[in-house]
Chain A
Amino acid sequence: MHYTYDYNGQTHAITLEKLPDGTFKATIDGRDYVFSAAQLANGAWLIKIGDAQLVGQVATANDTRYVQIAGQHYTLNVANAKSRTRKRSTASGDLTAQMPGQVIAVQVSEGDSVAAGQTLVILEAMKMEIRLSAPHDGIVKKLHVQPGTIVERGQVLVEVAE
């Protein structure tokens, strides 16, 4: 079986095969490992390679693989997977939500001139305020939200034309 994961901007490929004796062989970038693996009652994987053994935890959410092993956390993404949540913002002047939340204030109107750094929209999530400011000087071309709007991460809130 071939698996390909994106991690921190790089793609990593691993080939895994089950051997007749029940152990596994992994090949990563020309490096071969033979190991045994057993899943524990709590879902963890006990992996033994030679004299060494490690317990790893893995969780899956859509195309994301969360791995904890040897005291480190890694977030991997299955490479070449169809991405449903492609960033909806393309124009550099668009103001997007950095996190899901609720718009609690819109401090500009369409057609307003705004200065770089000026607060345009205030979002709130988990009792915290997040102020979203103009990325550059310009004019508010389109407002997509109003106070009370629930927004998702990456959603365009305001379009600012130069």
Chain B
Amino acid sequence: MPTLQKCLIANRGEIAVRIIRACREMHIRTVAVYSDADTQARFVQLADEAYPIGAASPQQSYLRAETLIAVAKSAGCDCVHPGYGFLSENEFFAQAVIDAGLVWIGPPPDAIQKMGVKTEARVLMQQAGVPVVPGFQSENASIDDFNAAAEKIGFPVMVKAAGGGGGKGIRVVYHAADLPDAIASAQREALKAFGDDRVFLEKYIESGRHIEIQVLADSHGNTVHLFERECSTQRRHQKIIEESPSPLLDETTRQQMGAAAVAAAKAVQYVNAGTVEFIVTPEKHFYFLEMNTRLQVEHPVTEMVTGVDLVKLQLHIAAGESLPFTQADLRQTGHAIECRLYAEDPRNQFLPAIGIVQKFLPSTSPGVRVDSGIQSGDAITIHYDPMIAKLIVHDRTREAAIQRMQRALSDTVILGTTTNIDFLQALLAHPVFAAGAIDTNFVDTHLDALLPPVPDISDIALIAAAIAGMHGSAPISVANGNAMNSDGDIYSPWAKQDNFRI
């Protein structure tokens, strides 16, 4: 197998930045592709080379498989990393990459296809001894077929996008009358998000916990799990906070779920990084939901507690190397939490808050990791997910990790757009979160208590606004007046004040 030399990154934003960093450490050159909306984006600046691929709409850029492969070939790449979302779980794209003579940084197309067709995955999982949630999927199913299946499963049911994840294209339906509309709208959203409008039904387990197991498999038959991520803190099936270990699991259940996840991966001859999602009842019964045949948004949580770099291992595995450890070598150390910072307005139905991020100065405190694709001056547009950054903290205990996250959030400066930071703070401070007892319904059913009131203005805030107003918005000289550098990363000595020594 080849040593990888040059990687095309078929994605954008923070995950493209994350992949570029892993490639850099391994001395693999990077090629970015970008839409018209991303010409100034951070990932484009960081890559060794970057090529435009079309208009802002994903269908005209990041979902154009042939264009991506053509760029990879003409730029002399030997591999393609799809990130998450877009074409990452599209087996036809994976196959096209392989057919073009390139290495696909992901699982075999056959494994993607088997896990992608949920009915087939369910049969395979049952054969492998993995418990599954009752559900229904059929190619070209009519509305009548869906209605009949939903009645048989029993309401409430979930309509889910067959092609995706990340909470897109999901609807919960409590009454048969609402099913046709829910299916149509899930199909539209799925087509837009994943380029695939197939949807399927699943029994909706209320007050369940969403707990997923990270797996890694090499091409020599070695498969291990890297423990769980608890992702129950969700709003409308969109994950908000993820952590590891799960506060719910005991060691026995953890081992059982890990073994089930490894069995699930082996059932489809899985290779590379993947995630097996389970729904877990309060009694700790767990059911297979689906396997995400790609890197997850929340992968850093696992990296923090295991010390394993999942993206670098994806590259090593794709190059044909064996896993550098066995199951017995792996440990969960301490506690990690991730918060997703979104440009959205919790007080206005969480609608995305479009605008320019005038200032973005993430926390640089100990134990804090920031995965972000933006920089000061970047626009949050209507075209893509409004995630600004992922904040990940690690500490010895869950309690310490929560405190560390609270501080990291208050240290983080994001000005120019409304964000969910206050909402995240309210969540972290909630006694049910502190008790580790949040289920997937909690946020939606306790939303009123989680929406913090608009804070009263303080005199110091007015003073800050006025002093900035007096001096203009750009960094300028003050007091004895040295011109200041606007680079947010460099804390150069300040203009000296009589009463202040550095």
Contacts and interface: CB of A to CB of B under 8 A. Distances in A.
Q: Check if A and B associate.
A: yes
A104 B354 CA distance: 19
Task: Give 10 nearest A-B pairs by CB, closest first.
Answer: A59-B358, A56-B464, A71-B410, A59-B415, A58-B468, A60-B473, A66-B415, A125-B382, A41-B492, A42-B488
A118 to B, nearest CB: 11
Interface string A2-15: 01010110101010
A38 B500 CA distance: 10
Contacts of A74: 455, 457, 461, 465
Interface stretch (B91-99, B266-274, B474-482): B474-482
A47 B464 contact: yes
Nearest to B356: A61
B491 A47 contact: no
B435 interface: no
Interface stretch (B15-23, B187-195, B252-260): B187-195
Given A48-B499, A72-B461, A98 B358 contact: no
Interface string B78-115: 00000000000000000000000000000000000000
Interface in B454-477: 454-471, 473, 475-477
Given A35-B463, A58-B468, A40 B484 contact: yes
24 contacts: A1-B469, A3-B469, A8-B457, A16-B470, A22-B498, A24-B467, A33-B459, A38-B494, A39-B476, A39-B477, A39-B494, A39-B495, A41-B475, A41-B494, A42-B488, A47-B467, A48-B499, A59-B415, A61-B355, A61-B356, A61-B416, A72-B461, A76-B461, A129-B185
A106 interface: no
Contacts of B192: 124, 127
A116 interface: no
Contacts of B383: 126
Contact of B416 (A59, A72, A100, A127): A59
Contacts of B471: 39
A41 B487 contact: yes
Interface in A119-161: 119, 122, 124-131
Interface string B392-430: 000000000000000000110111101101100000000
B71 to A, nearest CB: 24
Given A47-B464, A127-B189, A38 B478 contact: yes
Contact of A28 (B455, B456, B462): B462
B196 to A, nearest CB: 13
A37 B462 contact: no
A75 interface: yes
Contact of A58 (B356, B381, B465): B465
A10 to B, nearest CB: 8
Contact of A126 (B385, B456, B463, B466): B385
B488 A43 contact: yes
Interface string B192-220: 11000000000000000000000000000
Residue from A33, A48, A71 having most chain B Cβ neighbours under 10 A? A71
Given A3-B469, A16-B470, A41-B494, 8 more contacts: A14-B465, A36-B479, A39-B494, A56-B461, A56-B464, A61-B358, A66-B359, A100-B382
B473 A54 contact: no
A132 B7 CA distance: 43
A126 B386 contact: yes
Interface in A49-97: 49, 54, 56-61, 65-76
Given A35-B463, A38-B497, A128 B410 contact: no
Nearest to B351: A99
A22 B485 CA distance: 21
* Interface residues on chain A, size class: 35 or more
B63 to A, nearest CB: 12
B29 to A, nearest CB: 31
A104 B488 CA distance: 40
A47 B497 CA distance: 11
Contacts of A56: 460-461, 463-464, 468
Nearest to B358: A59
B437 interface: no
A108 interface: no
B466 A14 contact: yes
Contacts of A1: 466, 469-470
B349 to A, nearest CB: 7
Contacts of A10: 457
B397 to A, nearest CB: 23
B165 interface: no
A73 B421 contact: yes
A126 B382 contact: yes
B415 A57 contact: yes
Nearest to B359: A59
B177 interface: no
A80 to B, nearest CB: 14
A72 B455 contact: yes
A36 B384 CA distance: 43
B494 A43 contact: no
A135 to B, nearest CB: 15
Nearest to B419: A73
Given A8-B454, A16-B470, A58 B415 contact: yes
A69 B418 CA distance: 15
Contacts of B382: 100-102, 125-126
